[in-house]
Every structure is written in C-alpha cells, then in structure tokens.
Amino acid sequence: MNENNQTTSLPKTPLPVPKDYASDRDVRWCPGCGDYSVLAMVQKVMAQVGLPREKIAFISGIGCSSRFTYYMNAFGFHTIHGRALTIASGVKCANPELSVWVATGDGDALSIGGNHFVHTLRRNIGMNILLFNNRIYGLTKGQASPTTLEGKITKTTPFGSIEHPVNPISLALGSEGTFIARTLDRDLKHMQEMLLKVYGHRGTSLLEIMQNCKIFNDGAFLEFTEKETKNENVIFIEHNKPLVFGNKKDKGIKLDGWKITVINIDDGKNSINDCLVYNEKSKELAFLISEFYDRQDLPMPVGVFLNIERPTYEDNMMRQIEYTKEKLGIGDVDELVKGNSTWVIK
C-alpha cells in the first residue's frame, strides 16, 4: 500500500510555459513591430513567475499596443481611448487579489489619458503599466503624438512638429510614482529583468518601453538599440552602481555641483570613483537622471529610476474598511435604512 501510495501520488501540475499565456487569436501587428518582442517577453516572465492565468486582468485603451489584451490568455478588457488606467483601477479596487496589467501607448496614456496617468501614479494603485512609447500615432496611421520630437515630420506636422515633447519618466516622477523604469524593445534581457521588477513591486509600476514603429516612425530609437551605437548612446542605470557607459565602459557621469559632466574614467585624471553612484531610492537622483532624455550631450538613461515603497491605494482602502468595521461594528443595512429618527403609523 505504502509503495503504491508513493508511486500514485498526485500528478504534479506542470509548470506553466510562455505559450500557456497566449490566446488563440492571431497576432496582427505589422511585421517587424516592436510590440511582438514585448508580448513574447511578458508571456515568458509570467511563466517564469508562475502567475495563474485566472488571476490576471489585462486592461488596455485604444491604439496598437492596446490590442495586447486580445493576445493574452487571461481575463482581458480592451476599453476606450485613454481610460485603461481608470478601468484597471476599478478592477483592482473591486478585487485586490488580481494581478492587474495595463498595455498603453504614448497617445493613449500621455495625451487623451494624461489626467489618469498622473492620478493613478499618485494613488499607487496596484497595477503594472506597460507604456509602449513609439513617439507616433500608429493605429490612426502616422500623426504626431505627445512624445514626437520637435521638428519631426508626420502627417499632422507636414512642416515639422512645433511642440516640445513630454518626458514620460519625469512626468511619472512628478506624479509621485513609486516604481518607474525604462527599457528597450530590442534589449530582451534588459526587458526581462525590468518586467520581473515591475511584477515584484507593490503599487503602481510604470515601465516605459521605447518601441519601434516599423511603418510610421521606423528607426526612432535606432541609436539606442543598434549594436554599433547603443553603448555610446545609452546608459544603463543600476542601483548602487556607478553610472558608466561607452563601448569600453570608459565613460562616466560626474556630478559637479549641479552640473552634470561626462568624464573619461580611463584618462588618468578621473576614475570610476569619481562617477555618480545611482540609488533607486532617491527621487532627487531620479529627476536628475531622467532629464538626460532631452540632452544631446548625454546618454539616454535606461533601467529603474525609482523603486520606493508606499502603501497602495487598495491596501489603504481595505484597511479603512476593516478599521471602521472594528470601531463601529459591521454595519447592519436594515438599521442604516431606518436611520436615527423614525415613527410608527399604526
């Protein structure tokens, strides 16, 4: 008997594999779109952490990236333009047990949904926001977005954009976000690392993904993603590590008073000890580095800008409900409807 028991123990639930998270729908982004790599990596990371499919609510707004929900074998809600964060907030409040994810784009999150972007981050509601930034409106076929660079020619800016673009990371910092990071669609290893951190953070996690639109803004991030130029133009920021970059890791970021300078750490005058050491708990540093975004003379920062703890909205909400139940007793609806002052007609 005992032997039998040993051999007939319950079959092990097989570990999930990425394709368990793929729906039966054909993926219909344009060939060569950066969104494919994000989809594959999200499915891979979900399998890696073993997230039960029924616990996942994937919410999106409108735009190319927002089709993401249809391709995930999970609970999905493809909503209306700009409002994904609000729908996701409602889902999380109603059921804090769910793992809530949002796929959104630069138009969806920063233009029509800009208001919700600010308020969701400040509330710190538990959700993972994947912000696909391709600096263009793709689904509507090539108009300028809030992240389109000045001077850029698009269908709505035939003589070049006269607007200054928004910096998503700085906006997220200004919105009191608690986890703010950036990655690149063509750096899978880094994306994987970032997604794992996004998943691990309690509260609102924002991951900006610089993502290439093959059709309407091809090559927007080429200098950051191609082997030949990447190391010279991108700086990978890491907690407790000095800020160095360059093909030979020979350049560093030095803080000289309030002035940021790029130093050569191999020139004998400077060393790695002169470089600024990053700290993802420091909002001041995060602001400082996020502002590299606009600077031609400084590399594009990629990695975790900020990773701090703050109570989440849903935790506070549930805590307040529990507290009042304890203090005032669990409410009796019949008594509530009656109120304090009644009279009887016989």
- Rounded CA-CA distance 41/43 in Å is 5
Q: Which of 45, 46, 56, 64 binds other proteins (CB under 8 A)?
A: 56
Instruction: Name the DSSP class of 108.
Output: I
Q: Side chain identity at 295, as an amino acid letter?
A: R
CB of 61 to other proteins, least distance (A): 10
Site string for other proteins, 7-36 (x = CB under 8 A): ----------------x-x-----------
Nearest to 305 by CA among 322, 321, 284: 284
- Rounded CA-CA distance 20/51 in Å is 11
Q: Are 292 and 170 in contact (CB under 8 A)?
A: no
List the interface residues with other proteins, window 292-321 (CB under 8 A): 317, 320-321
**First vs last Cα of the chain: how many Å apart?**
74
Q: Is residue 328 at the binding interface for other proteins, with CB under 8 A as the rule?
A: yes
CB of 94 to other proteins, least distance (A): 4
Per CB under 8 A, the segment of 85-93, 139-147, 209-217, 246-254 that binds other proteins is: 85-93
Q: Which of 37, 43, 65, 86 binds other proteins (CB under 8 A)?
A: 86
Q: Which of 116, 135, 152, 251 binds other proteins (CB under 8 A)?
A: 116
Per CB under 8 A, the segment of 48-56, 133-141, 152-160, 252-260 that binds other proteins is: 48-56
Q: Side chain identity at 138, as an amino acid letter?
A: G
Token output for 128 = 């993972």
Bridge partner residues of 72 (DSSP):
22
Pairing of strands 251-256, 259-264: antiparallel
- Total of chain residues touching other proteins, rule CB under 8 A: 61
Q: Which of 36, 70, 199, 293 binds other proteins (CB under 8 A)?
A: 70
Q: Is residue 76 at the binding interface for other proteins, with CB under 8 A as the rule?
A: yes
CB of 112 to other proteins, least distance (A): 10
* Phi and psi torsions of 169, nearest 5°: -70, -45
**How far is the CA of 78 from the CAs of 143, 184, 294, in angstroms?**
22, 24, 33
Residues that bind other proteins (CB under 8 A): 23, 25, 52-57, 59, 62, 69-70, 72-80, 83, 86-95, 97-98, 115-116, 118-119, 317, 320-321, 323-325, 327-331, 333-334, 336-339, 341-346
